[in-house]
Amino acid sequence: MRKSSLILIQILMIAQMMSAQSELLRVNRQRHFSGILPGNYSGIAHIRGDEYAVVSDKSFSNGFFVFKIAVDSITGDILSVRDNGFHCNDMSGGDLEGIAYNPVTNTVFISGEADNSVAEYTLQGDTTGRQMAVPDVFRHATGNAGLESLSYNVHTGLYWTMNESTLICDGLQATSVNRLRNRLRLQSFGEDLLPRNQYAYLMDEPVADKTARNYAMGVSEVLALDNGRLLVLERELYVPKQKIGAFVNCKIYEVNPSEAQPISISEPLTASSPYMDKHLIYSWRTNITLLDHSFANCEGMCLGPFLKDGSRVVILISDSQNGYGGILKDWFKTIVIK
């Protein structure tokens, strides 16, 4: 066979691999660990080895924790979690939600939902002065519905974020009684921190159909994969007045920006906008009942290590609102994908 033919076959094999959808191989049960204090953990990013940067949306100052997370090399289950300290600056804490690590610059970027900014930090917790040029359309986010997520992948050289719930310019937000589907904007940024393409993303319809004491329906995290695709974590949190009967529905979808049509930033999203196709990877539900206190508001998601069989671990972390009421816990969970 000619050398040129072999090269062509290799190129086609790589292209096929890059376009293939992820496959769920294993789901591990959620676990709580005593090695960390109750918190408001809202984002997680792998740094190196077994070290992960974790951001809290109610920290006393701007910065991030470093957790050491040991993962079983065969099952992908988490064996232990230990807090190795908080890296921060002297700025009072804002509503920090998403975090991403760039191994090239050896810095982390953190998204703030209060002002919808994305700023760069050193690994010591100091700001570098660099920020992403977030498009003005995200200034239309209402409180607690802005840039909740953030991810970076070194293979694509792109950062990704998305507003949690519908922007004012794009319509009404989903509630526990109106049955609306949130219309969201997925935004990419290059290494120069300038915006690249933006895509329309349509959430599923809510499950809840009654008034709530607390309700949150939105995308709490995105995760950039090596092949250019993204995992999107849709989360619906419902707490009734009596609290018993509360639940969190979580769904992980995969989307492929290379097969989607970019949208214009200046045009509002409508029912006829070119929303991305999405492929369901995994869904689960946690609850508060008399016998079940598994309620887990998952807000952070990142890639973990490769396992011995070549599969990849995805790590999820939940926000317990500082162990609210002595009932909620900071749950960790892993799934394994191919």
pLDDT score recorded for residue 17: 44
- If one compares 87 and 89, the residue with the highest pLDDT of the two is 87
Q: What is the pLDDT of residues 290-322, one digit of tens each?
A: 999 999 999 999 999 999 999 999 999 999 999
pLDDT score recorded for residue 61: 82
Average pLDDT, the chain: 92
- If one compares 214 and 113, the residue with the highest pLDDT of the two is 214
Q: What is the pLDDT of residues 12-71, one digit of tens each?
A: 444 444 458 999 999 999 999 998 999 999 999 999 999 999 999 887 788 999 999 999
Distance in angstroms (rounded) separating the CA atoms of residues 115 and 126? 19
Distance in angstroms (rounded) separating the CA atoms of residues 38 and 318? 11
- If one compares 93 and 151, the residue with the highest pLDDT of the two is 151
Share above pLDDT 70 across residues of the chain, in percent, rounded to a whole number: 93
Q: What is the pLDDT of residues 124-170, one digit of tens each?
A: 999 999 999 999 999 889 888 899 999 999 999 999 999 999 999 99
pLDDT score recorded for residue 325: 84
Nearest in space to 248 (alpha carbons), one of 296, 197, 182, 306: 296
